[in-house]
Amino acid sequence: MMKDLSGKVAWVTGAGSGIGEAAALALAGAGAKVMLTGRRREPLDAVADRIGAARQTAAVATGDLTLAGTAATIVEAIRERFGRLDILVNNAGTNIRERRWDQLTPEGIDTVIHGNLSAAFYCTVAALPMMRAQRDGVLIHTASWAGKFIGPVSGASYTAAKHAVVAMSQSLNMEEYKNGIRSTAVLPAEVATPILDSRPVPPSAEDRGRMLQPDDLGDLILYIASRPASVCINEVVISPTWNRMYLG
């Protein structure tokens, strides 16, 4: 049975589509007030409208999380609007088409490292003071199958960034447990989200239909967020039954 999240406040990054959208809808459906963040306002407003139509509460704060000051600005907006922050879903991420070593450029490396790792650090650092003051908080980071298993699909920079996100999450648990703060790295294999369009050869509609779906991750994120304060789920590795990562 899921815990009622009424009275809780969640911040979801990359909330305009895919896993972030599904997580925001799931958390709001359980009663949490949700701050939605992404680069583009239009998709965020669409998610907020869906939440509002269900008589739930959502606010929108756009911003480029790869810029060091953006996260702190959004957290201050959360403080002013809601007065607390209980759940961070660190979901914003990106990849590039030119991801092989013989294609990588400094600009491409920076795009992937900043988009997947630096942004996650900035959001975490910004969120922690309110959580420490509450002596309670849950941090949930969307890592990747590539954050545990090294393979040719995701590219070197994405694989390195997601490995680092997993390490970041574990180090949070080592230091912040004494403040009642819990951190979880979620490592999904292929999920049918728009990031797949950035692959050199995007998967077919048939293949996407056999992958994990965003709602599968939304349900998982809600489960993690609704555990008792005495429970820390350190890491979840999840894949579709038909897992192409096992294929040659």
Are the C-beta atoms of 115 and 92 separated by less than 8 Å?
yes
Distance CA 154, CA 142 (A): 15
The residues, ordered by sequence, that sit 6+ positions from 34 with a Cβ below 8 Å of its Cβ are 9, 10, 11, 12, 15, 24, 27, 28, 51, 56, 57, 58, 59
Residue 107 one-letter amino acid: E
Characterize the bridge pairing of strands 87-90 and 9-13.
parallel
Active-site annotation holds for 158: yes
Which of 122, 158, 177, 246 is an active site residue? 158
Dihedral, 220, 224, 228, 232 alpha carbons, nearest 10: 140
Distance CA 13, CA 20 (A): 6
Residue 29's CB is within 10 A of a number of other CB atoms, namely 16
The residues, ordered by sequence, that sit 6+ positions from 149 with a Cβ below 8 Å of its Cβ are 245
Active site residues: 158
